Amino acid sequence: MYHLNSFMSDLERKNPAQPEFIQAVQEVIESVLDVVNENPAYLGTRILERITEPDRIITFKVEWEDDNGGVQVNRGYRVQYNNALGPYKGGLRFHPSVTLGTLKFLGFEQIFKNSLTTLPMGGAKGGSDFNPKGKSDNEIMRFCKAFMTELNRYIGPEIDVPAGDIGVGAREIGFLYGQYKKLRIEHTGVLTGKGRSWGGSLIRPEATGFGAIYFAREMAAHANDKLEGKRIAVSGFGNVAWGVVMKASELGAKVVTISGPDGYIYDEKGINTQKKWDYMLKLRSSNNDVVEPYAKEFGAKFYPGRKPWEVAVDMAFPSAIQNELNLDDAKKLISNGVKYIVETSNMGCTSDAIEYIQRSKVPFAPGKAVNAGGVAVSGLEMSQNAMKLSWTSEEVDEKLNRIMTEIHNACVKEGSDGSRVDYIKGANIAGFKKVADAMLELGY
């Protein structure tokens, strides 16, 4: 028998000073504990110890030259967590907050997320403490090339397929792929999120946000409600937030906020025109990490140093970074009548916020289900690369829509008690069972 407290205290002893990793594991273990304890095949094979230990962790030094001719040193990582279902797969994050503990939490989450997509992908994550803020294009390029000079030894289209995450978009994937191609002399599907003319998939940039909205549409439908007409708060202003605002508008909902490290924008009229969406991309590509200029450009309000969760809305989509929505934020949203909280960032809510939301009975869906559309379309990019052909936007979007609906149904199947759906439990159990069963079939 596994006991939550003793398992978690062993894990903490083995992984000191990695609070995000402990938080991510605890959430999964709480969900799957009964399933594991009731299954002798899981119990007899130490499945929880095996699934929480990464297959391997690679760390490397990244040396690069800044525009003043100075030498800069960063740390690079790749956590190859679990490849029971397919090649290691997961994004690269370039952000000053990145530590090994961050990437272990993200890699662990990725295992179950990728399992939920129904596509053959294992779980991994990587990145660096490199801070893109304020860097020139040339500095970004030199950093990416130095990073790939090390990373290329450990990846390959059948081994490990990285992609983007915070701080790694189309431009960075281009520089990384360019260096891989120089070093290995092969044009292959080793990264996803590639440019359209050199192997990328249509809809990959939009996929995470589109998928989150498809998932929210299913949540609303399951509650005999509809997405249409809903007022939505979104945090962040990157790739994910961009996809969310576009698909929300298309399906008749209205997004009224976006945010950055500098504060949030409240746009009463809705962030619902091509000009506004293009402007979000422009803000992102400036490398300054601020949203304030949007207010002037479109006559919206800017609230410096604050988060969008104080605005009265029907749906909230945290779409920036882990633990961005805390207990106080959850209380504000709920007292203002929020009807759904759709976690779109990875582990976007703190544990006490989630506990409060669950007790309040406001439907809450976890990031690993909601944001799985991103990696799902990465999986579709891998298929297209392997077949050496490319699907139309409609074909990819249709597959994404179907996958998100299936993920929602899997959450309901494993998480419903007949009256209420516990999406956390549903997502964790559905994701876990497939990986655990594959691990048993593969032996150790």
The four Cα atoms 76, 81, 86, 91 give a dihedral, to 10 degrees, of -40
**204-222 vs 372-387: helix crossing angle, rounded to 10:** 130
Does 346 engage in binding with ligand 2IT (CB under 6 A)? yes
Catalytic residue, chosen from 125, 145, 368, 399, is 125
Instruction: Answer yes or no whether residue 375 interacts with ligand 2IT by CB under 6 A.
Output: yes
Q: What does residue 365 show for φ and ψ, rounded to 5 degrees?
A: -115, 140
Q: Considering beta carbons, is residue 163 or 424 the nearer one to ligand 2IT? A: 163
Window 150 to 179, contacts with ligand 2IT (CB under 6 A):
163, 165
195 vs 252 by CB, closer to ligand 2IT: 195
Token pair 């790694």 in the structure block, residue = 168
- The amino acid that residue 422 corresponds to is D
| Least separation in angstroms between CB 319 and ligand 2IT | 12
Query: Smaller CB distance to ligand 2IT: residue 207 or 233?
Result: 207
Which one of 128, 179, 378, 428 is in contact with ligand 2IT (CB under 6 A)?
Answer: 378
Task: For the CB of residue 334, give the shortest distance to ligand 2IT in the complex, in Å.
Answer: 27
Q: Which residues, 6+ apart, have CB-to-CB distance to 147 below 8 Å? A: 62, 76, 128, 130, 176
Q: Which is nearer to ligand 2IT, 99 or 336 (CB)?
A: 99
Interface segment toward ligand 2IT; rule CB under 6 A; list 23-31, 288-296, 373-381, 431-439: 373-381
Binding letters toward ligand 2IT, positions 82-111, x by CB under 6 A = -------xxx--------------------
Comparing C-alpha atoms, which of 239, 218, 213, 234 is closest to residue 325?
234
Count the residues of the shown chain that bind ligand 2IT, applying the rule CB under 6 A: 12
Q: Nearest 5°: phi and psi at 157?
A: -60, -25
Judge whether 120 and 64 are in contact, CB under 8 Å: no
Is 125 an active-site residue?
A: yes
Position closest to ligand 2IT via CB: 91
Q: Which stretch binds ligand 2IT (CB under 6 A): 278-286, 319-327, 351-359, 374-382?
A: 374-382
Distance CA 304, CA 31 (A): 38
The DSSP bridge partners found for residue 41 are none
431 scored as a contact of ligand 2IT (CB under 6 A): no
Q: Does residue 343 bind ligand 2IT (CB under 6 A)?
A: no
Is position 357 an interface residue for ligand 2IT (rule: CB under 6 A)? no
Burial of 197: CB neighbours in 10 Å, binned 0-12, 13-18, 19+: exposed
Residues 6+ apart with CB under 8 A from 232: 244, 248, 253, 254, 255, 256, 313, 314, 315, 316, 317
Binding footprint of ligand 2IT on the chain (CB under 6 A):
89-91, 113, 163, 165, 192, 346, 371, 374-375, 378
